[in-house]
Structure 1
Amino acid sequence: MEPIAKLITIDRNSPVPLYFQFAQQLQQLIESGVLPPGTRLSNEIALADQFGLSRPTMRQAMQHLVDKGLLARKRGVGTQVVTNRIRRQVELSSLYDDLERDGRHPRTKVLSVTTRPADAEVAAALRIGEGVDVLTVERVRFADDQPIALLRNHLPAGLVDLTADALAETGLYQLLRRSGVDLSSAQQAIGARRATATEARLLEESRGATLLTMTRTAYDDAGSPVEYGAHVYRASRYSFEMTVAAR
């Protein structure tokens, strides 16, 4: 790999702030894989001198990437590139399958598998009466041993037999398909909010950190709802992508 000084150029005539020029180019090097996870960077003083920037400017640039989850400061080690943010196409697919396909070593911690009465939101999504029993599954999904998502799924009771052991081994949609459930379509909404104390603890984020949210109702080939999910994702490690076409 070429020295970082040959890969980043600072344009002092540009209206773009110097710290952002540096941070943006360093982010591109990380996300393109030129600087893979584990790469150690020089300290801020050395980098500031190398690029002719002030130390506060370099500190601001590095903090910008720390806040985005691309760099991590470790005592006794210095600043390192961490695992690239996961980008997921907005489509009817399992997060587990997407991670496995991209070589991100998915792992699941099952928090609970319980039967409970459906609240109004879940009942409306699954087209059942409020208070009717549903199977509720809560899991933390990891990628490369980093927690990235807290998943809550609700299914009509009796639709499929799910165990914690099976859910720890593979994705929910794989288990549904193995049980003969044909997933055909889904309606979903994406948003963002602050993490609760419990969510922050499970996802190893600071309290009040920004999380991405996704709610999804999946339907079988007969148009019947078979699953309602309400998930949160670490915005510092995860993003959604979609393709749009002009009309």
Structure 2
Amino acid sequence: MRHRMTDIDWARRLALEPGAAVPLYYQLRERLRAVISECVPDTPIPAEKDLMAFAGVSRATARRAIGDLVQEGLLVARQGSGTYTAPAGVTSELGSRPAGFTETMARLGRKPTTRVLEARMQPCAADLAPALGLEAGAGIVFIERIRMLDDEPCMIESAHLPAELVPGILDQDLTGSLYGLLRLKYGLSPASGKETIGAVNADYRLAGLLHVPMAAALLATARSTVTEGGLPLEYTIRHARGDITVFSVELNDAKNALMGQGPT
């Protein structure tokens, strides 16, 4: 059962064994990991000076243990506020039908908000051309947005669309569902696609936008979709906070999926 921890609980659970062969930072990290697993999301953990007192370690040791758990996504460091256990994860479903962030969050009962970072016309780069069914240099629309939940940055989305399919889209409201806009204004809906997932570390810009430390673990996805008629519709790159976002995949045909032959 998850619960809130008192100072007495922290002091009792973080008492280390100085004479043990295992390094102190490792002992502290693993004790913190065990306590975190019992805490409710968004539980503040003790400040560095308190951890030093509870565990009997130096500031460098406390910082190293905390830093490891931040990298793993179990803790979240919030500038000017402190360090907290990770908030409840947002699950983005990767099923057989592509779904957008707004649609997914609405289905989960959450209220997302969006801020547009950039929206412009640009030539299609050679490495994007195959996914969009275009020649290199053809016109595309680039839309970069930051997606938030409860005013907390969740992910950065960078969408690329063939310009000829979406005339005038830059004059539209881009703070809502992009898929909804494509469907209602242009009669275009993603029917199928392919999404790949990897892990990356936040660079300076991503760290600033997502409110995470430099080199924090992020989930990176690249999605290409096509319409029912097979027309390439989008290529979208997402960088999501690893402490908030979880991707789940529905496997309709386990045998084919394992063989790499499942539907995209």
State the TM-score, normalized to the length of structure 2.
Answer: 0.70
CA deviation vs aligned residue, 1:74-131 (integer Å, no higher than 9, x gap): 76x6654453333322232112222333344311111222121111122211111111
Relative to structure 1, the CA distance from residue 41 to residue 213 in structure 2 (aligned partners, 3 Å threshold; closer, same or farther) is closer
Question: How far apart, in 2, do the equivalents of 1:224 and 1:102 lie?
Answer: 30
How many residues of Structure 1 are paired with residues of Structure 2 in the alignment? 237
Q: How does 1:182-221 map to 2 (within 5 A)?
A: 182-221=189-228
Q: Is the 1:72–1:82 contact (alpha carbons within 8 Å) kept by the matching residues of 2?
A: no
Relative to structure 1, the CA distance from residue 49 to residue 175 in structure 2 (aligned partners, 3 Å threshold; closer, same or farther) is same
Question: How far apart, in 2, do the equivalents of 1:43 and 1:148 lie?
Answer: 25
1:88 corresponds, among 87, 92, 100, to: 92
Point out the more displaced range, 206-215 or 176-185: 206-215
Matched, 1:231 2:204: no
Question: How far apart, in 1, do the equivalents of 2:194 and 2:51 lie?
Answer: 47
Amino acid at match of 2:35: L
Question: How far apart, in 2, do the equivalents of 1:78 and 1:157 lie?
Answer: 45
Identify unmatched segments of 5+ residues in structure 1: none
Question: How far apart, in 1, do the equivalents of 2:233 and 2:144 lie?
Answer: 16
Amino acid at match of 2:248: E
Q: How does 1:120-199 map to 2 (within 5 A)?
A: 120-160=126-166, 161-163=168-170, 166-168=173-175, 170-179=176-185, 180-199=187-206
Over aligned residues, Cα RMSD in angstroms?
Answer: 3.7
CA deviation vs aligned residue, 1:109-166 (integer Å, no higher than 9, x gap): 1122212111112221111111111111111111222222221111111323424662
Question: How far apart, in 2, do the equivalents of 1:47 and 1:207 lie?
Answer: 23
Query: CA shift at 1:43, angstroms?
Result: 5.4
Query: CA shift at 1:201, angstroms?
Result: 2.6
Relative to structure 1, the CA distance from residue 241 to residue 164 in structure 2 (aligned partners, 3 Å threshold; closer, same or farther) is farther
Q: Which residue of 2 aligns with 1:70?
A: 75
CA deviation vs aligned residue, 1:29-71 (integer Å, no higher than 9, x gap): 3xxxx6143x344557877988xx6547877655444442534
Identify unmatched segments of 5+ residues in structure 2: 259-264
Q: Which residue of 1 aligns with 2:114?
A: 108
Q: Is the 1:112–1:164 contact (alpha carbons within 8 Å) kept by the matching residues of 2?
A: no
Question: How far apart, in 2, do the equivalents of 1:26 and 1:187 lie?
Answer: 38
Question: How far apart, in 1, do the equivalents of 2:76 and 2:205 lie?
Answer: 24
User: What is the identity percentage for the equivalent residue pairs of Structure 1 and Structure 2?
Assistant: 28
